[in-house]
Amino acid sequence: MLRIGKRAVLVFTVVSLVGFSTATYLHLRFLAVREPVVCRKVSVAEAKAMIESNPSLLIVDVSSQAEYEQAHLKGAVNIPLSDLSSRIGELDRNSAILVYCQGGGRSAHACSDLVERGFTKVYNMDGGIIAWVSSGYPVVIGSSALSISTYEFTI
């Protein structure tokens, strides 16, 4: 029969606890260091470059239906912010998604919602379609693309 002294049991217990607490500390430390997923804000110039360089980029307009019909980016899908939670299944969590609205406020909210639901490649176009048009970039009105320089939005 193996005899283990009290001192050996105490040493084993202390070493086990130190090892466990060290492992726990390191695990929690590395969890805290990992950067959280955030929605990245991009300028309209960056958004345009993304659209031109990534044909699989999903462009989501979270404006109302009426605003979408007034002007939207070519290839954009309209999912009004009020419908986003019920239509989230239409979006691929692994795809890069560019989100915009008319001025940038609703798209920032939509981006936060997407990140909270596990989307990791989410970009918010700063300034919305108003900034896009102000930069002289083309939009779609109805079913035709239009290069706009004097187009005005009703806000």
Q: Is 101 exposed, middle or buried (0-12, 13-18, 19+ CB in 10 A)?
A: buried
pTM of the model: 0.71
Alpha helices in the chain (DSSP H): 6-33, 44-53, 65-70, 84-87, 105-116, 128-134
pLDDT tier, 148 (very low <50, low <70, confident <90, very high otherwise): very low
Residues tagged active-site: 101
- State the CB neighbour count (10 A cutoff) for residue 129: 27
Residue ranges of domains in the chain: 1-34, 40-146
> Is the four-CA dihedral 111, 112, 113, 117 of positive or negative sign?
positive
For 63-76, write each residue's pLDDT tens digit.
999 999 999 999 99
Angle at Cα 139 formed by Cα 135 and Cα 143, nearest 5°?
Answer: 170
**Which CATH number describes the domain made up of 40-146?**
3.40.250.10
Of residues 49 and 155, more confidence is placed in 49
pLDDT in tens, 22-66: 555 555 555 555 556 678 999 999 999 999 999 999 999 999 999
